[in-house]
Structure 1
C-alpha cells in the first residue's frame, strides 16, 4: 500500500491530477462514488482524498467499508464551493482511528 487516489467532482480530480495524483475518479452520483471507493479498496490504496459533499452522501458506505481500520486513510477536503458545516470532525476521527485516542479541545 503506497498510492494516493482522489474521488470528487471534475475540477477537484483534475487539480489533483495536475499535482501528480495518477488515480482519480470524477463522480456525479452517490452510486458512482460508492463504486469508485469499492474499486480503490480492492486496489489497496493507502490514502483516499474525497470531497466533503461526496463523502457526506456516502457516509454510511464509508463507515461500513472502512470501519475502524487505520488504512486506507480517508481525507475529506472542501470542493471549489467551500467547506461544509458539519457536526462531525473528519480530521479528529482520522486521528482517533490512527492513534486510538480522541483529541479534546
Structure 2
C-alpha cells in the first residue's frame, strides 16, 4: 500500500516527493478529476493526501470520492502556507462532537 498526493503547488509536491510520496500538481477542475480518478483506480494507493486549498476549491469531487469509494482514505493536509483552520480547531471540533465546552 502506498500514499499519493494531489497538491495545488509545486513546493508541497516536492517536499513530499523527497519523503518518498509520489503525486501530481493540479490547478484546474479537469486536472483534479483526472488525479482523483487515477488514485481511485490504482489498487495500491491506500492514502490520498490532498491540500486544503484543493478541497475547498473542488469540494464536490472530494465528497463524491469519499461517498462512493472506501479506498483510498482521503486526508487533507495544509500546504506550505499553513492551515486555513483556526488555532483551536481540534478543541472546537471535539466540543461540537460531544456537546460540552472544553
Q: TM-score, normalised by structure 2?
A: 0.74
Which residue of structure 1 lines up, in the alignment, with residue 80 of structure 2? Answer: 80
1:9-43 deviation per Cα after TM superposition (whole angstroms, max 9, x unaligned): 2111110000111x210112232112101111111
1:12–1:80: 8 Å Cα contact kept in structure 2? yes
Q: How many residues align?
A: 89
Distance in 1 between the 2:35 and 2:10 partners?
14
Runs of 4+ in 1 over 4 A off after TM superposition: none
Structure 1: gaps of 5 or more residues: 90-102
Which residue of structure 2 lines up, in the alignment, with residue 96 of structure 1? Answer: none
Report the aligned-residue RMSD.
Answer: 2.3
Which residue of structure 2 lines up, in the alignment, with residue 97 of structure 1? Answer: none
Q: Tell me the secondary structure at the aligned position of residue 71 of structure 1.
A: coil
Distance in 2 between the 1:30 and 1:84 partners?
21
1:32-67 deviation per Cα after TM superposition (whole angstroms, max 9, x unaligned): 112101111111211000000011112111111220
Structure 2: gaps of 5 or more residues: 90-96
Which residue of structure 2 lines up, in the alignment, with residue 37 of structure 1? Answer: 36
Q: Tell me the secondary structure at the aligned position of residue 32 of structure 1.
A: helix
Which residue of structure 2 lines up, in the alignment, with residue 28 of structure 1? Answer: 27
